[in-house]
Structure 1
Amino acid sequence: MVFTLEHHDPETYRRKARMISFAMAGQLIIFGLLFSMLLTSTFGSSLWLNALGVLLGLLATSALFAVLRERPWMTEVRYVWQLKHHLSQVSGYLSQLRKAVEENNRTALDLLTFYHQGMAQLAELNGRTTDDDAERLAEKMQVKIKREELGLPPQVESIDTHDLQAFKRG
């Protein structure tokens, strides 16, 4: 699967993420209370019926969210979820990627460059700084130097996560 890095306004993302989080939490509370109330009024009061009502509320909230996640106003939040997913995939192979970078493997260089760019973008979108991890900064500089030595562009625009399969075999 090819994933392309996109630019999104951090302030817009944070505002929408807060709004969506509050809306989903509110829906969970309302649906949980509604289902619990319906179940206990129908079958009598029970801790298990209340728990089942909360579980049904969670399922209803999840289903509603699954329907709404493809809406245009969810673009930034959907992008960040996908970015986190792909960064998570790459982070599972970091040790193999680092070894391959020592061997000047271009795919590993692309994946590590994407990883560092994605982490920086995620930090920017969340309003955090990335200057606190000296080890990651040193690795980022090492990858940058290797890319320059091999004549590769300093940044990557997209990655194909199927490239990780080569590192799965170790």
Structure 2
Amino acid sequence: MIFYLEQHDPETYRRKARLISVAMAAQLIVFGMLFAQLLTASFGSSLWLNGLGVFLGLLFTSLTFAVLRERPWMKELRYVSGLKQHLARISSYLPVLRRAVAEDNVNALNILSFYHQGMAQLAELNGRTTDDDAERLAEKMEVRLKREEKQLPEKVEGFDPHDLQAFKRS
């Protein structure tokens, strides 16, 4: 399944991420304490029962998040989660991709271009800058120049994870 880059408002994403993080942490605390209280009231006080109560609170919070994850108001968080997963997967192939780009492999060039676009977008959404890594900036410039040399568009629209199968990790 191809993952397409989308535009999202960074402020909206950060606001929703903070709100959901606080709500989930509060839910974990409340349900962890509730389950621990119920267990210790029913079976007596024990460190293991308190731990089980916290574990049940974590389980309930995780289930709640899994159910609510598909709601429309979670769109930005789903997108960023998917973007992070794809970038992590690509990063495990970076040495091989860099060698393939040096050999003028267009597929590797597209994947690395997506990687740099995704990293820049992720930094923007999180309110960070990407200007602190000279090596990555040099690689980004090299990819851009090779794309111009091959008359490829400056940006790629998406990433197909199946494209990585052509490259073996080393």
> Considering the TM-score relative to the shorter chain, is it more than 0.5?
yes
Q: Which residue of 1 aligns with 2:30?
A: 30
Q: Structure 1 residue 14 and structure 2 residue 25: aligned?
A: no
| 1:32-53 Cα shifts (integer Å, max 9, x gaps) | 0011011100110000000010
Structure 2 distance, partners of 1:93, 1:51, is 40
> SS at 1:131's partner residue?
coil
Q: Which residue of 2 aligns with 1:110?
A: 110
How is 1:61-76 mapped onto 2 (pairs within 5 angstroms)? 61-76=61-76
Q: Counterpart of 2:62 in structure 1: which amino acid?
A: S
Structure 1 distance, partners of 2:37, 2:2, is 46
Q: Counterpart of 2:92 in structure 1: which amino acid?
A: G
Task: State the shift of 1:169 in Å.
Answer: 6.0
> SS at 1:8's partner residue?
coil
Q: Which residue of 1 aligns with 2:2?
A: 2
Normalised TM-score (structure 1): 0.98
The CA RMSD measured in Å over matched residues stands at 0.8
Q: Structure 1 residue 124 and structure 2 residue 124: aligned?
A: yes
Q: Structure 1 residue 39 and structure 2 residue 39: aligned?
A: yes
Q: Which residue of 2 aligns with 1:134?
A: 134
| 1:139-162 Cα shifts (integer Å, max 9, x gaps) | 000000111111111100001011
Q: Counterpart of 1:139 in structure 2: which amino acid?
A: E
Q: Structure 1 residue 49 and structure 2 residue 49: aligned?
A: yes
Q: Counterpart of 1:91 in structure 2: which amino acid?
A: S
Q: Which residue of 1 aligns with 2:151?
A: 151
| 1:30-81 Cα shifts (integer Å, max 9, x gaps) | 1100110111001100000000100010000000000000001101111100
Structure 1 distance, partners of 2:75, 2:139, is 31
> SS at 1:168's partner residue?
coil
Cα contact 2:33–2:53 (8 A) shared by 1? yes
How is 1:80-95 mapped onto 2 (pairs within 5 angstroms)? 80-95=80-95
Structure 1 distance, partners of 2:157, 2:80, is 16
Q: Runs of 5+ in structure 1 lacking a partner? A: none
Q: Which residue of 1 aligns with 2:60?
A: 60
> SS at 2:159's partner residue?
strand
How many corresponding residue pairs? Answer: 170
Normalised TM-score (structure 2): 0.98
Q: Counterpart of 2:149 in structure 1: which amino acid?
A: E
User: After the TM superposition, which parts of structure 1 deviate over 3 Å for at least 4 consecutive aligned residues?
Assistant: none
Q: Runs of 5+ in structure 2 lacking a partner? A: none
Q: Counterpart of 2:151 in structure 1: which amino acid?
A: G
User: Which one is further off, 160-169 or 101-110?
Assistant: 160-169
Q: Counterpart of 1:72 in structure 2: which amino acid?
A: P
